[in-house]
Structure 1
Amino acid sequence: MTKKNLHVSLDPEIYETLHETANMNSTSMNAIVKESIISYLHQTRSKQLLNRSNFTFIDLFAGIGGMRLGFESAGGKCVFSSEWDKYSQETYLANFGERPAGDITQIDEREIPDHDVLVAGFPCQPFSLAGVSKKNSLGRAHGFKDKTQGTLFFDIARILDAKRPKVFLLENVKNLRSHDKGKTYKVIIDTLKELNYHVFDEVIDGSGYVPQHRERIFIVGFDANIYKTAPNFHFPESNVKYRVRDILESTVDDKFTLSDKLWLYLQAHAAKHKKLGNGFGFGIADLNGATRTLSARYHKDGSEILIPQEKKNPRRLTPRECARLQGYPENYKIVVSNTQAYKQFGNSVVVPLISAISREMIKAMAVDERKVENVV
């Protein structure tokens, strides 16, 4: 095929950004431009397909709506949300115009609207298997209700059982697999399969979507009553490199700079643990790379992610920078105190990663339900 030439004039700023990105990825500017165009066309085509799907979803353990943003970007409509924390409810209300229902354990699953997709970033809890072997010996059925009763995963299971969404996405910390010597994860996967879902799972690092190392486990399921064979679903992959410096605010109040007392304490604390061989300490961010994982404890001292400053002590990220580090849009409203904002973003998800997973889920749904003939 004969190649076609296209001449484009670029602003100096865009040209320099392309040049810098090419150097950072050890490739040519032409390759970067080509990849960007292909990616844009792919996403545009995907959005057209996804918007036509007009799927509905529910947002459980919703936090401040990071999962919701991801699925809305894929053309979904949220028909129900649940979050018990009052401060997170305030942030959710400010950004989505609705206050989530409260404690999911007190909500009757029959009152939840029908939906295509269930989304939940649920807390990790151990399961008690006491009594199961006894019930087996007596020939009595126990099933997921007995195995998971008393945990928050039980509430997901009972909703899946009652409402039968076509697909679900669950998100949790990477260590869920090893939690309680693997017993917790085994109960979860066995329960989802017992509920007759095809299950896919993978640990993904958010650094392919934002400048932050954030490994989380994602579990996707497709209703086997609808999809007789396991769908052709694949988790997304991204090798794009992002830089911390690109999410930093140009002007930052001095209140975010560590005091001499705190800075001296963190250095002494790190030196002490290094001497003991523990390797624990603060983290000065590489501005041309990715940060450590942002946690809910960031409000305490900001030690895991500190931003270097010339002739000054390092500083912690601002709440807006934390929002950017998680991939939230610039128009996302922060309506709570800095302390609560740090907790909320530290507990949240990488929004662009959720968007990428949701697109793959909906494309798999569309193909297997013969909604489209070809998916780009």
Structure 2
Amino acid sequence: MSITILEGNVAGQRLRTQRSERSRSAKLAGMQSAPEPAFSYVDLFAGIGGFHAMLEHAGGRCVYVSEIDRAARETYTKNWVDPLPEPDRPEINTDITLATPEFGEVTVPAHEVLAAGFPCQPFSKSGMQRGMDEARGTLFWNIARILETRRPAVVLLENVRNIAGPRHRHEWDVIIRTLRENGYRVSDKPTVFSPHLLPPEMGGTPQVRDRVFILGTYIGPERVAEELAAGIEIEPLVLREPVDGWSPDRWDTEWVLDDDATIDRLDAYTLTDEEKAWVNAWDDLVKRHRTATGQKLPGFPLWADHWVPEADLNEKLLDLLPSWKRDFLVKNARFYDAHRTLIDEWFEDHPEFEGFPATRRKLEWQAQDLGSLWDTLMQFRPSGIRAKPPTYLPALVAITQTSIYGPRRRRLTPHEAARLQGLPLDFTFHTQPDKASYKQVGNGVAVGAAWHVFRTHVEANKEDLPDTLVRAVLGAPASPPSSLRATAAARG
């Protein structure tokens, strides 16, 4: 494979310059509004602007933003609102419930696209209530109120994978029924997609982040009822599989990393001496095992505190344990029996190991045939040190389990985490604490994945959508402004 590498700082400066020029041009024109946009949209539960990034890319103009979290709202405003000339700035709402009262006017303005990464709340299972009534008291009900009043052409919702799982089947049914009652053609099967399944030139990023997308086109309640009565089934348009022949194993973590020399406070992300000692001790075991056996470590979790001969295991105590834990203990005992001399010598050579925290005396080797722990992508988890190949990364989460890139002996920075979500190179968290930045990124929307499912939906539903919206979306470049230093401009 041939990869074209674009220097991140150069690309970022180009984007910053373009935004600055747009803003300066607007000021020189007497702060006049930009030409009429191809479509307008509202961004609900907006976070830090994942939906904004891809809908702006499509030529839309945001007319309304709602985000209750103050810190996330400030990040959104600084990146997406402040650079705009004043006439083009969206209205900013801090609590969507105040704009969608049960009795009273919905104050959200008219728009063609509604995008929302809405929270999932439990719905009542009592009685035989219909969708809109049953959703009352949840934040999805507030979305439904807007749809009922404004009837945007497209609705795009995003949620965690479990929203379509068996534990939330009732909530899922209420959501789909409510959308249909409001006139939206929507599949009752979830669209599940992850950005690592997209090639970089289509907006993909090396992050395994399965999310459920719900997409609907407004065709009116009568037509929805007719299609349902006719037995027309709406299938998901995007499947959870690689796109355009892409192989996710071709990802490389380096593509999203900044040059260390350009990172302020690099020491804040570099592993501490204590953390390096944890890795070095386990790395010695990885290498000894490979030298002695010619094989990689086993894939089950290695629990050093339970390395005892299998004959010493207490069968009665084992029977009291959950089957998964019993299985791991037996496997660890057999691992010790098979490599007793190697392990005992390793323990002798690393007396410091005994003082490691309990969670650092466990290793989950999922790094295939790599020869060193320092060659892997690691996470320090409550379940132990997890090691994977440095290709695509685990999902960013709102809690702190920031991935560690072994070759550089440091964690990903918030700016690099934002790249994993597909946000532009010039995206900034300004001076807010890293903890808040990681949380905001972990709660965000993956730009490339959202763009792919949205564009696919628009193309398939173009006969029932406004021409200006269709032309804008299908005429936009295949990839939103990339946050990657690498693109597959010349794949082979």
Quickly name the TM-score band, shorter chain normalised: 0.7 to 0.9
Residue 443 of structure 2 corresponds to which residue in structure 1?
347
1:105-161: CA deviations, max 9, x gaps?
12136211111111000111111122x24xxxxxxxx43332111111111111111
Equivalents in 2 of 1:114, 1:232: separation in Å?
Answer: 29
Give the secondary structure class of the aligned counterpart of 2:211. strand
Look up the match of 2:70.
Answer: 86
Name 1:8's counterpart in structure 2: none
Number of the residue aligned with 1:245: 254
Give the match for residue 17 of structure 1. 3
In 1, distance between residues paired with 2:162 and 2:305? Answer: 24
Report matched runs for 1:1-376 at 5 Å: 17=3, 54-97=38-81, 100-108=92-100, 110-130=106-126, 132-133=127-128, 142-178=129-165, 180-200=167-187, 201-207=190-196, 208=198, 209-225=204-220, 228=223, 234-235=237-238, 238=243, 239-240=245-246, 241=248, 242-251=251-260, 252=263, 253-261=266-274, 271-272=302-303, 276=325, 277=328, 280-287=383-390, 289-298=391-400, 301-302=401-402, 305-309=403-407, 314-335=409-430, 336-369=432-465, 371=467
Q: Per-residue displacement from partner, 1:207-230 (whole Å, max 9, x unpaired)? A: 021011110010001112299568
Distance in 1, Cα, partners of 2:131 & 2:259? 52
Measured in 2, the distance between the counterparts of 1:92 and 1:181 equals 30
State the TM-score, normalized to the length of structure 1: 0.73
Change beyond 3 A, Cα 1:358–1:273: farther
Which runs of 5 or more structure 1 residues have no equivalent in the other structure? Answer: 1-14, 20-50, 134-141
Q: CA deviation at 1:254?
A: 2.2
2:180–2:221 CA contact under 8 A, matched in 1: no
Match of 1:217, as an amino acid?
A: V
1:257 aligned counterpart, secondary structure: coil
In structure 2, the residue corresponding to 1:129 is in which secondary structure? coil
Q: Give the conservation status (yes or no) of the 8 Å contact 1:58–1:78.
A: yes
Instruction: Report the count of equivalent residues.
Output: 313
Partner-residue secondary structure (3-state), 1:309: helix
Instruction: Supply the AA of the counterpart residue of 1:360.
Output: T
Q: Which of structure 1's runs of 4+ aligned residues deviate more than 4 A?
A: 226-233, 260-268, 270-275, 372-376
Q: Identity, % of aligned pairs?
A: 33
Does the Cα contact within 8 Å between 1:71 and 1:354 map onto a contact in 2? Answer: no
For residue 263 of structure 1, report the CA deviation from its aligned partner. 6.4
Q: Is the 8 A contact 2:117 2:159 kept in 1?
A: yes
Partner of 2:22: none
Q: CA deviation at 1:178?
A: 1.7
Q: Deviations over 1:77-131 (max 9, x none)?
A: 111110000001110110122673111112136211111111000111111122x
Cα 1:330–1:285, aligned 2, differ >3 Å: closer, same or farther?
Answer: farther
Q: Which amino acid aligns with 1:243?
A: D
Q: Distance in 1 between matches of 2:457 and 2:158?
A: 14
Contact 1:232-1:364 at 8 Å conserved across structures: no
Q: Aligned with 1:170: secondary structure?
A: strand
Contact 1:214 1:292 in 2 (8 A): yes
Between the aligned partners of 2:171 and 2:212, the Cα distance in structure 1 is: 14
Unpaired runs of at least 5, structure 2: 6-34, 82-88, 199-203, 283-300, 307-324, 330-363, 365-382, 476-492
Higher relative contact order structure (alpha carbons within 8 Å, sequence separation ≥ 6): 2
